Structure 1
Amino acid sequence: MKMSCFFGILTFITCVHFSFGLYFHIAETERKCFIEEVPDETTVIVNYKVELYDPKSGGFMPSSPGIGMHVEVRDSDDKIILSRVYSSEGRISFTSHTPGEHVICMYSNSTAWFSGSQLRVHLDIQVGEHAIDYANVAQKEKLTELQLRIRQLLDQVEQITKEQNYQRYREERFRQTSESTNSRVLWWSIAQTVVLLCMGFWQMRHLKSFFEAKKLV
């Protein structure tokens, strides 16, 4: 019992928040996009549910079967890694192959099925070990509670390692950008100095020629 409590507390302390739930309203021609920073080789699961606005009750009700959502996912290199039409309620899963910002965009698959009404989309994005169904894992692999806790801790340590590698990647990219910017600023300053020296030299030559022509010197 004490060991179980210990692992529970340790799990709580080492737990990193990699999921969020929200809902948003979307019109029939509107497109909503979300940016999620994801390390490489990390599983991302997107759960969503669409509700249709009911003008009679002034609330939202489950949408009709014909209404679906077009989901598009782009990686940090702006490459499409997922693009397809899903039903009004579903679960989307993809694995990142490059670290960085992944853009998840959603929009309705038709502009006529709900006659301009508003949709409410419930969205839940889970990243890393939060995307793993440990209850299903325990049932399939027949793990005890202690073994399951250890499995969760190992997955969390792996995810933390990926996050640390991603932060190092971001720091390296930032350093490269800073060095490139500093180099450009330096060369721009040198170019400005050269131009000013050339202009000054030309003006001196021009004034000297002018004074000699006027026989002032």
Structure 2
Amino acid sequence: MKNYCKFIFFLIPTLVFGTEFTFDLPDNDEECFHELITTTNITCVFEFQVVSGGQLDVDVIIEGPNQRHIYKELRKEYDTFKFNVTHPGEHVICFSNQFSTFTHKSIFMSFVAGDENPLFKGSEEHDTVMTFMEATSDEMHDTLSDIILGQTHYRLQEAHGRRFAEELNERVLWWSMSQTILIIAISLSQVLILRNFFSEPKPIRPREPRYGYLR
């Protein structure tokens, strides 16, 4: 069974498209996302990471307009892939969890197509010396972009650490409960055994003889 989530974007040479989100992938299922790119010679950056679920692995395939595989990885936890668009058309990104029969996955995906627009209009048309204000603004813009990217990765690491802590807490809880039940069972059995040692035995009544009659 396939679930298709379709995102269509028309890209022009001076436009950059970027999206990132986290979605749930059920067990024994597949999720596909469609990107319609109408221009060539642009760079696309694809990144994903399995946040939680099972062994933190998923199958990922990127197909071009001619149904050719641009990227294919099996049982992968995370990866970053950069490619150039040579044929315009619909690109399909599929995540498969069909090898898992009972564990669903939470997956983070990021896709960026095209180069980032310049901060100041007209700066790409001719070489000019930027003023102090423009240079400072451009530097602040680059710094804030790096901060946003770092925050995204820190959130992923936090989600991964939270998952590990919750699973460890659940295992410790069940282990503690099993140990408690075992201790109670051993204590009750010891009490019953000691009680049998100190209990008075019941007196044995002699059997009365049976006399027959002779004829």
Query: Which of the pair is proportionally richer in helix?
Result: 1
Higher RCO, 1 vs 2 (CA within 8 Å, ≥6 residues apart)? 1
Q: Whose Rg is larger? A: 2
